[in-house]
Amino acid sequence: MKNGLFIFLFIATFLYSGFLYSQEKAKPAQSAPKPSPNDNKEKAGDKISSSKDKDKKEEVKASNPEKQVEEDLEPSRYETGTVQIDSKLVASNYRTLSLKLLKTLKSSFLNLGEEEKYKQLVDSYTKASIDYQKRDFVMARRKYEKNYKDINSVCEPLTQKYQEVYLKLFSENIQSVIDLKVNSGMAPEYIAVLEKYLNTAGQFHASAEHSSLSKDFSEAISFYKKSIFNLVKLSYLLQKDKIKDLSIKEKFTQGFLIEDDYIPKEYISFYDDSIDLIHKEREKEREEERLQAKKVLMEKYNFKEEKEPHKEKATEKDKAVPEEKDTLNKEPEKTSNKDTSKIKKE
């Protein structure tokens, strides 16, 4: 009896649920309400107001570009969230790193014709320092970090220029060293010193390439400079060996007055850059040093500065030209009676 009642209840509930489902399915689908003209007007008004707000924001940004830059700066890592890093500490670290790079890379930017980019980097560093002094460490951190990354990105094309300089110097110097090993009687100890400079330059160049692959272009420039310094030092030793037999007077006349004159002229700018000097400024100092050295040698050995002969010839020609013009304007001289009598006798 109980089993039959249970089966009856089960069948009844199943039939009732099926009846409800069929009733809901038979109802017509409700159509979406048609938009009224007032709704369209409200949407159009919202669009106009939003466009006006955008225009106002653009006007404010155009009038204050510094504010626009600040808004464009993305939040730094771990600036917000459950795990945060002290913005003052991070800003201080980037502040030190960027300043060090701006000092060491100044000669690279100026010697390679990137003075305008260097000024922009210094300007952005200055703006970050202003925020740091205002104790706005969050914004200072963002600006210092961006300045550090900008320095590194600007260094990328410079590494390509240093690569070209290195390859040029290395190929020329290795040819000179091999020529000395094969065709000269130079002492093996001296050639070993020259080869040591070549090997050291190659090691620094390998480090520069590794840094470039790691996207650390500022560090790559530092290694390139060290490699170029060793190659220029090698050229200096080769040049000094060539003129070792010249007398003091011959060195004086050929312009070997100071130590830097032993560096080939086409490499002197590379040498200045490799020791973080600005070539134009150093060249002015060299001119003064040459004048002082020349004065000392002239007083000590009674040397005389030789004048260029072509200048004297030019002055003689200038004097001779008006004399030829005067002779052309003069009337032919009359022959004397004595001269005519001689002609008749002949």
Say if pTM beats, i.e. exceeds, 0.75: no
Counted residue by residue, the chain has a size of: 346
Cα(241)–Cα(231) distance, integer angstroms: 16
CB 248 within 8 A of CB 297: yes
Neighbours of 200 (CB within 10 A): 17
Task: Please report the DSSP string for 27-80 in residue order.
Answer: SPPPPPPPPPHHHHHHHHHHHHHHHHHHHHHHHHHHH-HHHHHHHHSPPPTTSS
Output the six-digit token pair for 13: 């509930």
Cα(341)–Cα(335) distance, integer angstroms: 10
Cα(75)–Cα(167) distance, integer angstroms: 42
CB 158 within 8 A of CB 217: yes
What are the percentages of helix, strand and coil residues in the chain, rounded to 5? 80, 0, 20
pLDDT of res. 324: 42
CB 258 within 8 A of CB 290: yes
Q: Where are the domains of the chain?
A: 89-301
* pLDDT tens for each residue of 145-192: 999 999 999 999 999 999 999 999 999 999 999 999 898 878 889 999
Q: Which residue has the tokens 């040819």?
A: 175
Spell out the per-residue pLDDT of the chain, length 346, in tens. 555 655 666 666 666 666 555 665 555 545 555 555 555 555 555 555 555 555 555 554 545 545 544 555 665 564 555 545 788 888 999 999 999 999 999 999 999 999 999 999 999 999 999 999 999 998 999 999 999 999 999 999 999 999 999 999 999 999 999 999 898 878 889 999 999 999 999 999 999 999 999 999 999 999 999 999 999 999 999 999 889 889 999 999 999 999 999 999 999 999 999 999 999 999 999 999 999 999 998 988 887 776 554 444 444 444 444 444 443 344 444 444 444 444 334 3
pLDDT of res. 339: 45
Cα(155)–Cα(334) distance, integer angstroms: 84
Work out whether the CA dihedral 169, 171, 174, 179 comes out positive or negative: negative
Amino acid at 148: Y
pLDDT of res. 167: 96
CB 141 within 8 A of CB 75: no
